[in-house]
Amino acid sequence: MSQFPCDYKAGFIMDPQRKQRVGYLTAFTGLGSQVGALAQDLEVWSPYQGSPSYPGVAIAAEKVKAVGIIESVEYGGGVGDAYCFHVRISGNNKQKLAAAMKNTFDKTSIDVLKFWIGNFDEEEKGWYEELYPKADDMKGMLNAQGGDLKIRLGEEGVKVHTNVDVKVFDWYFEIVPAANILTDIHFGFGVKKSAVKHWGLNIAGNT
């Protein structure tokens, strides 16, 4: 199991002395007409130095616009394993998801998912890109086990800091690959080392 815990509160109160892992969900479109595209309505600080090669994230004047701030990503390592996202989102996006979740989704497909995680290499003293989809975005389906979709929302917002009047909401979901859609995922292990892992399966009889 690969685990990528991030400091989501650093996006609101940045400590320049800390070099913590940070991550952003920069686009999400899916789950049929009930959800569609979520708003990129959070603007947060980013400690990352340099210009990411991933086109799905833009850092300008130390700030990032995002759909959500990543709290953690987990991945089992197999080509068919789920990517499990734990993010913090705005009240507006939470309300949109909550309204859709009161009913059955007309679709469970995720058409566009863009995310990026950056980290600091203590040995090389430099920032590096740790996790992102090489094809700019991921496409897949909500994971389901026993008929239950792996998606949940926190009811109450959490203040990011006692001195900051901003609340964000907890959102957890799992995405699994759709049939015959293959995605390469970039994994960074430091400034000088990275690898690409394949995600998705070709179903027999298809090429």
d(CA 122, CA 126): 7
Tell whether the torsion through CA atoms of 169, 172, 177 and 179 is positive or negative. Answer: negative
d(CA 98, CA 127): 36
Cβ 62 vs Cβ 119: under 8 Å? no
Average pLDDT of span 18-43: 94
Average pLDDT of span 26-36: 94
Return the structure tokens found at 82. Answer: 């789920």
pLDDT band at 3 (very low <50, low <70, confident <90, very high): very high
Low-confidence winner among 48-57, 73-82, 154-163, 188-197 (lowest mean pLDDT): 154-163
Q: Regarding beta strands 22-30 and 2-5, do their DSSP bridges make them parallel or antiparallel, or are they unpaired?
A: unpaired
Q: Within 10 Å of residue 160's Cβ, how many Cβ atoms?
A: 20
Cβ 193 vs Cβ 126: under 8 Å? no
Query: pLDDT per residue over 144-153, tens digit each?
Result: 988 899 999 9
Using a 10 angstrom Cβ sphere, with 0-12 exposed, 13-18 middle and 19 or more buried, the burial of residue 87 is buried
d(CA 199, CA 186): 11
Q: Report DSSP state, residue 203.
A: P
Query: Which amino acid is residue 155, in one-letter code?
Result: E
Cβ 126 vs Cβ 120: under 8 Å? yes
In the predicted model, is pLDDT for residue 79 greater than 60?
yes
d(CA 48, CA 46): 5
In the predicted model, is pLDDT for residue 63 greater than 90?
yes
> How far is the first Cα of the chain from the last one, in angstroms, to the nearest whole number?
29
In the predicted model, is pLDDT for residue 164 greater than 50?
yes
